Amino acid sequence: MLNSPSIRLGVNVDHVATVRNARGGDRPDVVRIALAAIAAGADGITAHLREDRRHIRDTDMARLKAEIAKPLNFEMAATAEMQRIALATKPHAVCLVPERREELTTEGGLDVVGQYNALAPFIAKLNDAGIRVSLFISADARQIEMATKLRAPAIEIHTGGWCDAVVDGHREKADLEWRRIVEGVALARSAGLEVHAGHGLDYDTAETIAALPEIAELNIGYFMIGEALLVGIAETVRTMRAAMDRGRAILKTRMA
Ligand SMILES: CC(=O)[C@@H](O)[C@H](O)COP(=O)(O)O
Ligand SMILES: NCC(=O)COP(=O)(O)O
């Protein structure tokens, strides 16, 4: 089984922009928080430029690209507008996510099976520009198999259903969702995909999923920004990194 020796932490800064936009000013500064997260150990920054610009704005994405030295993971819907912006911005990576204006947050995974014909040329253009493409999908075998046909080198498994069930104490649903994730990441890795995970992760669920050998990257935002309001982003990043390291240590004992 191909494993990922280390596991990267991508900090999603969307909800720093949510707070900033509440009064329409320029504080808190998204880039300043991103730089502090990187200084504390984040391996990259994730930001979601939504069609409705409810949080991250075009200027945020441009400043993040210009001012951070670590990889920028540009989350976006697969639209012509976003492709144009991504090609102009040239982030390290793009993660294609589904979007509905009326959604509170990302609800499901991208339907790469149903959207294959549109996604194939869309992804090819980003690949050709040297941008690493990942697909935000559910841990569904058909979606994973189709992702491999789309020449995306990576997928990000949507962990929202599992995380919500854990937080809500729905043990049976959490166990079912977890089994789907375990099977999905194994299938994806065996197909040669780089496997990321994200949505709804907190310290406990990040530790649990970091024990899966196939996971190369976790992208975490909402929970961490909330924690940062209490203890600061640096301590939050350090605590999240420690949780992920505990997960990796559990993996190592299992494999010993
Ligand atoms: C795809 C995903 O789960 C998140 O990265 C996404 O950014 C969530 O959207 P909001 O940040 O708008 O809640
Ligand atoms: N792709 C997941 C992400 O970037 C952050 O999701 P969340 O932790 O804000 O739910």
Per-residue pLDDT of the chain (256 residues; tens, 9 = 90+): 446 668 999 999 999 999 999 999 999 999 999 999 999 999 999 999 999 999 999 999 999 999 999 999 999 999 999 999 999 999 999 999 999 888 899 899 999 999 999 999 999 999 999 999 999 999 999 999 999 999 999 999 999 999 999 999 999 999 999 999 999 999 999 999 999 999 999 999 999 999 999 999 999 999 999 999 999 999 999 999 999 999 999 988 888 8
The pLDDT value given to residue 149: 97
Q: What is the ipTM of this complex?
A: 0.97
- Ligand 1 pocket test: which of 61, 97, 104, 134 has the largest number of ligand atoms within 8 Å of its C-beta? 97
The residue among 40, 46, 39 whose CA lies nearest residue 61 is 46
Q: Do strands 44-48 and 8-12 pair parallel, antiparallel, or not at all (unpaired)? A: parallel
Q: Specify burial of residue 130 (Cβ count, 10 A radius: 0-12, 13-18, 19+).
A: exposed
Q: Within 10 Å of residue 84's Cβ, how many Cβ atoms?
A: 10
Is 158 one of the annotated active-site residues of the chain? no
Is 196 one of the annotated active-site residues of the chain? no
What the block records as the tokens of 242 is 């420690």
Enter the CATH code of domain 8-255: 3.20.20.70
| Cα 41 to ligand 2 centre (Å) | 18
- Ligand 2 pocket test: which of 8, 103, 201, 227 has the largest number of ligand atoms within 8 Å of its C-beta? 201
Q: Is 25 annotated as a binding residue?
A: no
Q: Is the CB of 12 under 6 A from ligand 1?
A: yes
The pLDDT value given to residue 3: 63
The pLDDT value given to residue 5: 62
SS3 assignment, position 170: coil
For 200, residues 6+ apart whose C-beta sits below 8 A from its C-beta are 159, 160, 162, 163, 164, 167, 222, 223
Tell me how far CA of residue 243 lies from CA of 5, 17, 69, 201, in angstroms: 16, 26, 24, 11
Ligand 1 closest atom vs CA 46: 5
DSSP code at position 46: E
Domain segments of the chain as ranges: 8-255
- Rounded Cα–Cα distance for residues 148 and 129 (Å): 19
The residue among 176, 174, 221, 179 whose CA lies nearest residue 202 is 221
For tokens 């210009």, the residue is: 66
Q: Is the CB of 105 under 6 A from ligand 1?
A: yes
- Are 4 and 215 in contact, with CB atoms under 8 Å apart? yes
